[in-house]
Protein backbone atom coordinates (compact mmCIF):
# COMPACT_ATOMS: atom_id res chain seq x y z
CA UNK A 1 0.00 0.00 0.00
CA UNK A 2 2.83 2.43 0.73
CA UNK A 3 4.06 1.85 -2.83
CA UNK A 4 0.69 3.04 -4.14
CA UNK A 5 0.72 5.99 -1.74
CA UNK A 6 4.14 6.97 -3.10
CA UNK A 7 2.93 6.63 -6.69
CA UNK A 8 -0.12 8.79 -5.95
CA UNK A 9 2.03 11.43 -4.27
CA UNK A 10 4.24 11.86 -7.35
CA UNK A 11 1.42 11.64 -9.90
CA UNK A 12 0.83 15.04 -11.43
CA UNK A 13 -2.27 16.82 -10.12
CA UNK A 14 -4.32 16.61 -13.30
CA UNK A 15 -3.65 12.88 -13.71
CA UNK A 16 -4.70 12.23 -10.09
CA UNK A 17 -8.00 14.04 -10.65
CA UNK A 18 -8.59 12.35 -13.99
CA UNK A 19 -7.83 8.90 -12.55
CA UNK A 20 -10.46 9.39 -9.87
CA UNK A 21 -13.03 10.61 -12.41
CA UNK A 22 -12.17 7.66 -14.68
CA UNK A 23 -12.83 5.20 -11.85
CA UNK A 24 -16.21 6.80 -11.19
CA UNK A 25 -17.16 7.00 -14.87
CA UNK A 26 -16.16 3.38 -15.51
CA UNK A 27 -19.22 2.30 -13.52
CA UNK A 28 -22.18 2.02 -15.89
CA UNK A 29 -24.54 3.51 -13.28
CA UNK A 30 -22.41 6.55 -12.45
CA UNK A 31 -23.67 8.91 -15.15
CA UNK A 32 -27.32 8.63 -14.16
CA UNK A 33 -26.56 8.68 -10.44
CA UNK A 34 -24.17 11.62 -10.71
CA UNK A 35 -27.06 13.82 -11.81
CA UNK A 36 -28.95 12.87 -8.66
CA UNK A 37 -25.87 13.28 -6.47
CA UNK A 38 -25.23 16.74 -7.85
CA UNK A 39 -28.85 17.85 -7.57
CA UNK A 40 -27.69 20.12 -4.79
CA UNK A 41 -25.30 22.94 -5.49
CA UNK A 42 -21.75 21.83 -4.88
CA UNK A 43 -19.25 24.27 -3.45
CA UNK A 44 -16.59 25.20 -6.01
CA UNK A 45 -13.37 23.33 -5.36
CA UNK A 46 -10.05 25.05 -5.88
CA UNK A 47 -7.17 23.17 -7.51
CA UNK A 48 -5.59 22.24 -4.16
CA UNK A 49 -8.88 20.87 -2.80
CA UNK A 50 -9.48 18.86 -5.98
CA UNK A 51 -6.01 17.34 -5.85
CA UNK A 52 -6.15 16.53 -2.12
CA UNK A 53 -9.58 14.94 -2.47
CA UNK A 54 -8.49 12.93 -5.51
CA UNK A 55 -5.31 11.58 -3.90
CA UNK A 56 -6.98 10.81 -0.55
CA UNK A 57 -10.03 9.21 -2.18
CA UNK A 58 -7.83 6.99 -4.37
CA UNK A 59 -5.85 5.92 -1.31
CA UNK A 60 -9.04 5.22 0.66
CA UNK A 61 -10.49 3.16 -2.18
CA UNK A 62 -7.27 1.18 -2.45
CA UNK A 63 -7.22 0.67 1.33
CA UNK A 64 -10.83 -0.52 1.46
CA UNK A 65 -11.24 -2.49 -1.80
CA UNK A 66 -8.60 -4.91 -3.08
CA UNK A 67 -10.21 -5.10 -6.53
CA UNK A 68 -10.09 -1.33 -6.95
CA UNK A 69 -6.51 -1.37 -5.64
CA UNK A 70 -5.58 -3.70 -8.51
CA UNK A 71 -7.36 -1.42 -11.01
CA UNK A 72 -5.63 1.70 -9.71
CA UNK A 73 -2.27 -0.07 -9.66
CA UNK A 74 -2.72 -1.31 -13.24
CA UNK A 75 -3.60 2.18 -14.47
CA UNK A 76 -0.62 3.69 -12.67
CA UNK A 77 1.77 1.04 -13.99
CA UNK A 78 0.97 1.83 -17.63
CA UNK A 79 3.64 3.89 -19.28
CA UNK A 80 2.78 7.60 -19.19
CA UNK A 81 2.56 7.76 -22.98
CA UNK A 82 0.00 4.93 -23.18
CA UNK A 83 -2.31 5.91 -20.35
CA UNK A 84 -5.12 8.32 -20.76
CA UNK A 85 -7.15 9.31 -17.74
CA UNK A 86 -9.22 11.97 -19.45
CA UNK A 87 -12.81 10.96 -18.97
CA UNK A 88 -13.98 14.18 -20.56
CA UNK A 89 -13.42 16.43 -17.59
CA UNK A 90 -10.54 17.63 -15.50
CA UNK A 91 -12.69 19.17 -12.79
CA UNK A 92 -13.20 16.88 -9.82
CA UNK A 93 -16.72 16.84 -8.49
CA UNK A 94 -17.81 15.80 -5.06
CA UNK A 95 -20.29 13.52 -6.86
CA UNK A 96 -17.40 11.34 -8.06
CA UNK A 97 -15.99 11.12 -4.54
CA UNK A 98 -19.40 10.31 -3.05
CA UNK A 99 -20.09 7.71 -5.74
CA UNK A 100 -16.79 5.93 -5.19
CA UNK A 101 -17.27 5.91 -1.41
CA UNK A 102 -20.85 4.63 -1.53
CA UNK A 103 -19.91 1.20 -0.16
CA UNK A 104 -18.14 2.69 2.88
CA UNK A 105 -20.09 5.85 3.68
CA UNK A 106 -23.68 6.93 3.29
CA UNK A 107 -23.83 10.66 2.63
CA UNK A 108 -27.17 12.44 2.87
CA UNK A 109 -28.33 16.05 2.72
CA UNK A 110 -30.99 16.61 5.35
CA UNK A 111 -32.43 19.80 6.80
CA UNK A 112 -29.71 21.94 5.22
CA UNK A 113 -26.88 19.82 6.58
CA UNK A 114 -24.75 16.95 5.27
CA UNK A 115 -24.76 13.69 7.23
CA UNK A 116 -21.95 11.13 7.01
CA UNK A 117 -22.83 7.64 8.19
CA UNK A 118 -19.99 5.09 8.23
CA UNK A 119 -21.31 1.69 7.18
CA UNK A 120 -18.46 -0.12 8.93
CA UNK A 121 -16.16 1.14 11.64
CA UNK A 122 -12.88 1.97 9.91
CA UNK A 123 -9.60 0.73 11.35
CA UNK A 124 -7.56 3.10 13.50
CA UNK A 125 -5.62 5.67 11.49
CA UNK A 126 -7.85 5.00 8.49
CA UNK A 127 -7.58 7.37 5.57
CA UNK A 128 -11.38 7.23 5.36
CA UNK A 129 -11.73 9.32 8.52
CA UNK A 130 -9.22 11.84 7.13
CA UNK A 131 -11.16 12.02 3.85
CA UNK A 132 -14.49 12.62 5.61
CA UNK A 133 -12.89 15.47 7.57
CA UNK A 134 -11.68 17.04 4.30
CA UNK A 135 -15.14 16.76 2.77
CA UNK A 136 -16.75 18.28 5.86
CA UNK A 137 -14.27 21.17 5.75
CA UNK A 138 -15.11 21.83 2.11
CA UNK A 139 -18.81 21.78 2.96
CA UNK A 140 -18.20 24.18 5.86
CA UNK A 141 -19.20 21.69 8.52
CA UNK A 142 -17.47 20.66 11.70
CA UNK A 143 -18.14 17.60 13.84
Judge whether residue 23 has pLDDT over 70.
yes
pLDDT, one tens digit per residue, over 57-116 is 888 888 888 888 888 888 887 745 445 544 444 446 777 777 777 777 777 777 877 777
* Alpha helix positions (H), the chain: 2-10, 13-25, 30-37, 47-64, 66-77, 94-100, 127-138
User: Burial, 21: exposed, middle or buried (Cβ in 10 Å; 0-12, 13-18, 19+)?
Assistant: buried
pLDDT tens, position by position, 39-52:
555 667 788 888 88
**How far is Cα 121 from Cα 139, in angstroms, rounded to an integer?**
23
The whole-number pLDDT of residue 38 equals 55
Q: What is the pTM of this model?
A: 0.71
The residues spanned by each domain of the chain are 2-138
Amino acid sequence: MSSLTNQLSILNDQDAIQLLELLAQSDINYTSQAQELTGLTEPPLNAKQQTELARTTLAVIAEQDSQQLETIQALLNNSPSSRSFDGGTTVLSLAAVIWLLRTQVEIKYKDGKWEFLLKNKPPKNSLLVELIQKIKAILGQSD
